[in-house]
Amino acid sequence: MIEVKGLSKKYGNFLAVKDVNFSIKKGEVIGFLGPNGAGKSTIMNILTGYLSLSEGEVSVDGFNIMENPEEAKKRIGYLPEIPPLYTDMKVREYLDFIYDLKKVKFPKKAHINEIMKLIKIDHVQNRLIKQLSKGYRQRVGLAQALVGNPDVLILDEPTVGLDPQQIIEIRNLISRLGKNHTIILSSHILSEIQAVCKRVIIINKGQIIADDTAENLSDRISTDRSLVARIECSEAEMLEALTTVKDVKSVMSMGCNEKGTVDFLIEPEEGCDVRRAVFERVVSRGKNILALTSNKLTLEQVFLRLVEAGSYEDARKLMGYNDEEEGEE
Ligand code: ADP
Ligand code: MG
């Protein structure tokens, strides 16, 4: 449904997106996950034809976005990071306006009614958009994307700024839309992506560092050798203390998840059991271990590690990909 090959985008001299490749099948619900500034919005703006690309090729349902923008754009509904709402318009008036703008062919009244019903905004159709809550405005944004019944929905951080209840409502809506649409959803929050997407594309510094199911990602990166230790301590001191334990390959702080404690991800050298040595080191510093588990990484931890790896090469190595070999063919 969507093919992206060798996509790069420069803003002036700044390379915001570097040689990105992926393809999305009809009906998939995909999450773009990455920290702020990773390049998610840039890629989405290119897919929707709002922004020109510097290099590469993008096609939607076989239509090249540069050569056939009209056909490609017709197949996409877009909810940008900041929805283009005319807040002095009433909901219905605004959707009618979008209908005209998109030159939609379906019977107007029935089509708009159907969308409002689906998105559950029919009861506010005569209200001014500026008088709606943020959650409702976001729904109007979604409704706007659905005008013309496009196959593909591209939703850029659709839950940003909403309260928890509104987040759940928008999330449920997206899950429902996923049954009949191909969806790309972006977020810098993993749980957002995990809640609705099967496949995750992790983007960092303009590059794709991972593209897989959530499950495979955590399988791929975690080795059952890794330990997670919850320790009552100060972060910097313990980080230093653990790093020098025999046969410990790397230590990373995963931050505070319980008051007064820090979680550390400890990776031993291949084939080494460092549990006793870690325990002794912590005790020798007069600190307490509250938990020591050799569990699989959660996707959150995978994401953090990949992003912290910094460079594309380091992240790929962490994932166990051998790019050099793959490149030779
Ligand atoms: P994300 O959506 O993942 O937060 P963006 O695609 O918005 O990331 O931005 C990617 C990078 O490109 C950032 O470093 C951002 O500062 C830069 N950028 C985005 N838009 C512009 C622009 N119009 N001009 C210059 N730099 C930009
Ligand atoms: Mg963005």
Closest CA to 189 of 29, 35, 30, 28: 35
The one-character DSSP state at 78 is E
Q: Coil, helix or strand for 154?
A: strand
- Supply the Cα-derived Rg of the chain in whole angstroms: 23
User: What gap in Å lies between CA 116 and CA 150, rounded to an integer?
Assistant: 15
Does the pTM surpass 0.75? The reply is yes
**Mutate which of 17, 42, 203 to test ligand 1's pocket (most atoms within 8 Å of Cβ)?**
42
Q: What is the mean pLDDT of each run of 10 residues along the chain (329 residues)?
A: 96 95 95 92 95 95 93 94 90 96 93 94 95 92 95 94 87 92 91 87 91 77 74 94 93 90 89 89 95 73 74 74 54
Q: Is the CB of 37 under 6 A from ligand 1?
A: yes
Measured CA to CA in angstroms, residue 275 lies from 87, 268, 279, 287 at distances of: 59, 9, 6, 15
Q: Is the CB of 14 under 6 A from ligand 1?
A: yes
Q: Is the CB of 34 under 6 A from ligand 1?
A: yes
Angle between helix 91-101 and helix 134-146 axes, rounded to 10 deg: 30
Ligand 1 midpoint to CA 46 (Å): 12
Q: Is the CB of 42 under 6 A from ligand 1?
A: yes
H helical segments located in the chain: 40-47, 69-74, 91-101, 108-119, 134-146, 164-177, 190-196, 214-221, 235-243, 275-284, 299-308, 312-318, 323-328
Q: Whose CA is nearest to atom 20 of ligand 1?
A: 42
**Mutate which of 7, 8, 13, 14 to test ligand 1's pocket (most atoms within 8 Å of Cβ)?**
14
pLDDT at 325: 54
pLDDT at 282: 96
Side-chain half-sphere CA neighbours of 287 within 13 A: 24
- Minimum-distance ligand 1 atom for the alpha carbon of 203: 3
293: left (phi > 0), else alpha (psi -120 to 50), else beta? beta
pLDDT digits (tens, 9 = 90+) for 181-221: 999 999 988 878 888 898 999 999 999 988 988 777 766 66
pLDDT at 109: 95
pLDDT at 166: 87
Closest ligand to Cα 82: 2
Q: Is the CB of 39 under 6 A from ligand 1?
A: yes
Ligand 2 midpoint to CA 293 (Å): 36
pLDDT digits (tens, 9 = 90+) for 221-236: 655 568 889 999 999 9
pLDDT at 51: 93
Ligand 1 midpoint to CA 37 (Å): 5
Ligand 2 midpoint to CA 40 (Å): 5
User: What gap in Å lies between CA 184 and CA 59, rounded to an integer?
Assistant: 15
Q: Is the CB of 320 under 6 A from ligand 1?
A: no
Q: Is the CB of 268 under 6 A from ligand 1?
A: no
pLDDT at 194: 82
> What are 238-247's contacts with CB under 8 Å, separation 24+?
238/262, 238/264, 238/282, 238/285, 238/287, 239/264, 241/281, 241/282, 241/285, 242/266, 242/278, 242/281, 242/282, 245/274, 245/277, 245/278, 245/281, 246/274, 246/277, 247/272, 247/274, 247/277
